[in-house]
Structure 1
């Protein structure tokens, strides 16, 4: 409580009403799959365009090399073509994929710098590193003191352990700094001859020896200026190159002769005198082989925050509301993906059916593996143009469908069933199913994509893989995800507030205002808010034991809108007698 110690007027602010509750995003997608490059461990990367994807993860993969595992790039491309705006991507790589390096495997060479590509893949073989000698600090010597110590014009930038060069206009002598403070520099060895130069434009210079690193990969280039091999310097190469998005660099201390006094580029080059530049190329990078992939690579490992891989990497992500592993139809992977969605309860999985399963019985065999309201299944595969092979190919529908989800959310709202929507960028279907076949598949929860004359190729189903009829529609499940996440994220302010009638009233007002807005947007049934939802909070939902144990219980009931899946017009013949 505020203290009032002296006479005066005090103005104080306090909250009496409910906090505005903002709806959570429902159109952010997540994708898992093989790519040319990209991290295989850590957090999924945010992608806002296909150009972003190509910059971070590379381009299309070869069918001959990766077969059915190559569809991530196509799925992300068609996600954006179909109206998606942002997604997170997690790369998977075969266990035998290798990172390119400047040190060959099994080599006993004494390379001072160990440079590897940031992540596995043959892409790293195209990386080129150029080193150029440079200096971060130069000064002139004003006086010679005792014990190899020199008074200089300015000792800023000189660190203990730095290699320095003394240039007198005719020759260059290298030395090492022992200490530098208050414009006095102590060197390891004494400088010979007359080293003092007090001229306004000096001819004799004491300079540090550093180097610039230029890293090139395709159109990407990174430059790191004035880096050092001195571990105690703030510009030590390990610290500076940690910012690189292309390479990892480490100094091999065992191969670094601490007694020798040579400029760093000469040390890195193995003793070769370098005047202008020294180039390093990487090799040995490999994409691995598709035959080495297994469900375990997609399922991933949970090694703790920031070290998860595969599907497990999305545990740390709270933005994704739709997730897919394009083209991966292994039931072990799909079941793990569905289990992940059921555990986090904030996203839904979009599943593909194997392309070779075209008969109704075969499709149902695959469908019957699943029973979850957090999964939706789509078929058949889509015919699109492949920019890599310059021909039409068939890709799994999940990437395009997730884009349709996102587009429908943005144009109509999450309550609108993402069906009867045109799939963009598609020229045909792998299989043309008819109404009779859909009569069998639709009630089982298989959402078909069909061609209609004059209406293009459309998503013609909106069912989940659940046997519970309350949750059979995709939009109902996604609406509840939206409501639950919005209420959870928007009511954090309630935690640790006094659990009394005043708080209950504020919570009630907060949720009532939010659900009223949702009802006005057309997401809830009823001609009035009272018909669309109810909110119970207070003594009717909590016992004294709940209150004593710090529990605030609010019961909310909503009436979601259901899609008009079957439109029936009953027509009869009107007679005069009627």
Structure 2
């Protein structure tokens, strides 16, 4: 309670109404697959365009190297072509993929930031540099033996730094033991005695730190890190500074190289050389034979170390998931389990390209029973920018883009079907109505070509055997509502659990669901028919309240798609 200790007028604000509740995004996709470059562990990378993907993950992969594992780039491209605007991508690499590096004989080991043949085209250039210089005003103690010097300014000089004293005729190198209050103590006395002192306004004798500047080049990318050091205790130590690089990583040996310029330590050449070029080599993309289902399923080694599907545990924004072209049941079941466990995302699954017969398609479909996934077939014929010809790609990337397009134009309540597949010139297999009569009731969503109407998604069913959850839009509408309420009601936690709070919660959710109903996502001619909200003594016991539980029961009536449009026509006679 506020304190009032002195006379005066106090103006205070308080919240009395419901807190506005915004809807969560349902059109952000997550993709897992092989790429030419990019991190293979940690957080998935945010992508907003195909150019963005190419910059971070490289281009298309060759069919003769990776075969059916190469479709990530095509899926992301057609996600954007079909209306998607943002996605997250997690790269998978074969176990035998290697990062390019220098020959290993240098005190500074350089390596490509992540595995792949791309690292063989990385070039690193080193140049001598200095971050600080000063002049010596006084030798403290015996001029021949003292190691302590009073300088004009010790700013930039740190313990452990290598320094060079230049008297105009030559340089002598040393190492700093301590640096404080404009007094620098060196590892050994400087040669020359009193001759090292120079108090002139424009000194001819200076003490400078010894660092180097590192330039990293890959294609059109260039990074420059100025005045980095081998002094492990310094904030400009090369490992600390270059940790943010997208091109190279570094590691230093722990050997004591003495009072030697770091440029010479790394290159083996004197500072006067001016430039040292390092070409990385030994990088490899690995082979498709080294890939297994476990690489895509990933490992949970803790924050920052998760791989594959597990990497998306740390991501709260993705609502659609796909592993394009990877139809191994183990991987797909792991993806479905991931979506079911989180309850906030939906999986889009591919069927193997060679399974075109009804029996073969059903054999693959019968592996699954889930309301958090949908399956699409057949594969799509598109233009391949790499080989300059038409190829077939899995439909999951295109369908994810159609989901996003439908969400943004109509809403998540609209079934993402009867939508044109953009960028598609043909289908791997043409199914007819009789074949769809068999596949559709079993939850296989076909993509079909119609005369004068293009190629369209012609199904909107999940893989669930539960009739309540057989439509994709129903499941995704509930994901949207649940996620929106969860994200928008954090303010309720630790509030006093009484009638005032219950009323505010009810007003908050009522306003949100009324808006959802007005958008056409809920059935009914009035909000009362579209949803109900129950909170208070009829949903909670005293034991619930005593144990800190606030229970709110919500029921909504989702709209169902008009999957079967039936016009019953009869002959009208003159007497009728």
TM-score normalised by L of structure 2: 0.97
- Partners of 2:184 and 2:534 lie apart in 1 by 76
Asked if the contact 2:128/2:271 (under 8 Å) is kept, the reply is no
Say which SS state the counterpart of residue 479 (structure 1) adopts. Answer: helix
Q: Number of aligned pairs? A: 570
Q: Using the alignment, how far apart are the partners of 1:2 and 1:339 within structure 2? A: 50
TM-superposed CA distance for 1:152, in Å, is 1.8
Structure 1 vs Structure 2 CA RMSD: 1.2
Which one is further off, 279-288 or 184-193?
184-193
Structure 1 residues 237-256: aligned runs within 5 Å: 237-254=238-255, 256=256
2:285 alignment partner, SS class:
coil
Deviation at 1:539, TM superposition (A): 1.2
Alignment partner of 2:321 out of 302, 315, 323: 323
SS at match of 1:438: helix
TM-fit CA distance, 1:271: 5.0
Moved more, 270-279 or 545-554: 270-279
Q: 2:138 matched to which residue of 1?
A: 143
Query: What displacement does 1:389 show?
Result: 0.7
The equivalent of 1:376 in structure 2 is 374
Q: Are residue 221 (structure 1) and residue 219 (structure 2) matched?
A: no
**CA displacement 1:176-203 (0-9 Å, x = unmatched):** 2222222222222323332222332222
Residue of structure 1 equivalent to 2:402:
404
Distance in 1 separating the partners of 2:160 and 2:538: 73
In 2, the alpha carbon distance for the partners of 1:272 and 1:195 equals: 23
Structure 1: gaps of 5 or more residues: none
The corresponding residue for 2:77 is 77
Query: What SS class does the counterpart of residue 329 from structure 1 fall into?
Result: coil
Gaps of 5+ in 2: none
C-alpha distance in structure 2 between counterparts of 1:39 and 1:218, whole Å = 18
1:261 Cα deviation from its structure 2 partner: 1.6
Query: Quick one: distance in 2 between partners of 1:544 and 1:150?
Result: 77
* 1:409-450 residue CA offsets vs partner (Å, 9 max, x unmatched): 011100010011111111111011111111111111110111
Contact 1:121–1:286 (8 Å) recurs in 2: yes
> Residue in 2 aligned with 1:577?
575
How much has 1:272 moved relative to structure 2? 5.1
Question: 1:492 corresponds to which residue?
Answer: 490
- Corresponding residue of 1:130: 125
| 8 Å CA contact retained: 1:178, 1:187 | yes
Kindly provide the CA deviation profile for residues 254-279 of structure 1, in whole angstroms up to 9, marking residues without a partner as x: 3x42xx22111100113555521111
SS at match of 2:235: coil
User: Aligned residue for 1:117?
Assistant: 112
Q: Give the 5 Å matches for 1:529-544.
A: 529-544=527-542
Partner of 1:467: 465
Counterpart secondary structure, 1:76:
helix
Q: Is the 8 A contact 1:161 1:230 kept in 2?
A: yes
- 1:554 and 1:150 map into 2 onto residues whose CA distance is 74
Distance 2:278 2:140 in 1: 42
C-alpha separation in 1, matches of 2:337 and 2:182:
66
Question: Could you say if the C-alpha distance between residues 500 and 273 of structure 1 is closer, same or farther in structure 2, counting changes exceeding 3 Å?
Answer: closer
Whether 1:360 aligns to 2:358 is yes
For 1:165, the equivalent position in structure 2 comes to: 164
Q: Distance in 1 between matches of 2:495 and 2:266?
A: 61
Corresponding residue of 1:296 = 294
SS in 1 for 2:32: strand
Q: Distance in 1 between matches of 2:423 and 2:479?
A: 29
Cα distance per residue 1:547-573 (max 9 Å; x no partner): 111111111111101111111111112
Contact kept in structure 2, 1:266 and 1:274, CA below 8 Å: no
3-state SS of paired residue (1:253): coil
| Residue of structure 1 in register with 2:426 after alignment | 428
> What SS does structure 2 have at the residue aligned with 1:214?
strand
Q: Deviations over 1:471-490 (max 9, x none)?
A: 11000000000000000111
1:29 and 2:24 are equivalent in the alignment: no
TM-score, reference length from structure 1: 0.97
Counterpart of 1:337 in structure 2 is 335
Partner of 1:276: 274
Give yes or no for contact 1:512–1:535 (8 Å, CA) kept in 2: yes
**Equivalent residues in 2 for 1:7-18, closer than 5 Å:** 7-18=7-18
Please report how far the alpha carbon of residue 507 of structure 1 lies from its aligned counterpart in structure 2 after TM superposition: 0.6
1-structure distance, mates of 2:272, 2:285: 34
Alpha-carbon shift at residue 118 of structure 1 (Å): 1.2
Q: CA deviation at 1:170?
A: 2.1
Which deviations, in whole Å up to 9, do the C-alpha atoms of 1:36-62 show, x marking residues without a partner? Answer: 111111111111111111111111011
